[in-house]
Amino acid sequence: MQPSGLTLFWAGVIAVAILIYAILDGFDLGVGILFRLARREEERAWMINTIAPYWDGNQTWLVMIGAGLYAAFPVVYAILLGALYVPVLLLMIGLIFRGIAFEFRHRTVRMRWLWDWGFFLGSALVAFVQGAAVGVMMRGIPVENSQYAGQAFGWLHPFSIVTGVGMVFGYTLLGASWVALKSEGGIRAWAYRRIPWLVGAVLAVLFLSFLLTFQYSVHARSNLEARPWGFVFPAIGLLALLGVLFGVWKKRDGMPFAMTALFFLAAYLTLGVMFWPFMVPYAVTVVQAAAPEASLSFLFVGGIVVLPVVVLYTLAVYWVFRGKVRAGYG
């Protein structure tokens, strides 16, 4: 059975929202992870200034993903929440911690060290559990009678830990590239020095994940092998990482970030090749997961109003605060 137009529309909306969230919130999570590597308060303040206008708005896309799944694909929402209940709880704790720390560190000097650690740990925790969720989905989620049939800590697996660490390094690379894009002087040079090391870390985790895929993610590997054209996306991802290094070598500030975003796009499309047509790998297809057509039609009326507003708001913020951070923002 082929999915309807409305089903494909909402699946596409959620897929695009996930990608936008990964790139936009990814760079400010990456800045948070980099935060503890900066030795001087001036450097940390400058890093905060590069994300201050954007970080809370970036999380709008996470809300859209959750609301879209709940309304358009309730079966997926129920199964994933059951399978990832602990990671989602940790995600919420991390987001709360980093949000509080972001605001409170400006209100104190004596306790600033505590909020700096909170900002770092919250960012790292959010990145890790998101990567672990990718590993869970690559391995496949056990489902019986449209319900999660695994254990509460079934997500805590060596493969998921590796993908979680990989996401931490990937977001940190995005964050370092963003700092290089938005900064000048010493902090720009500081970010440039760390980008090659982060590229090496990402490549190492990718290689390890590739080896583990043969053991722990048979379905994902089989789907990719059945669609050999899909190997073009991993190749693009590797070329994108080389483009990051080229941008660092030539000191082209926009290139490392653009190439890192391209790497995330290539990795995301690779996952799409592995998963399609499943929304809960490898148990529930897009057609099986969709809400009734009447519900999707009702949601479509609201979606064509809300979605353009969110997109325009995001574009407006990035346009207003374009360019380098010079005098600072705070």
Distance (Å, whole) CA 61 – CA 147: 26
| Statement: residue 106 has pLDDT above 90 | no
What is the Cα Rg of the chain in Å? 20
Length of the chain: 330
pTM of the entire structure? 0.90
Is there a contact between 167 and 133 (Cβ–Cβ < 8 Å)?
A: no
Integer angstrom CA distances of residue 169 from 6, 163, 207: 36, 10, 14
CATH number of 9-295, picked from 3.20.20.140, 1.20.1630.10, 1.20.58.220, 2.50.20.10: 1.20.1630.10
Distance (Å, whole) CA 12 – CA 22: 15
| 136-191 per-position pLDDT tens digit | 888 888 888 778 777 778 788 888 899 999 999 999 999 999 998 888 888 888 88
Every domain of the chain and the residues it spans? 9-295
Q: Which single residue is written with the structure tokens 């092998």?
A: 225
Residue 185 buriedness (CB in 10 A; 0-12 / 13-18 / 19+): exposed
| pLDDT range class, residue 1, cuts 50, 70, 90 | low
Distance (Å, whole) CA 240 – CA 324: 24
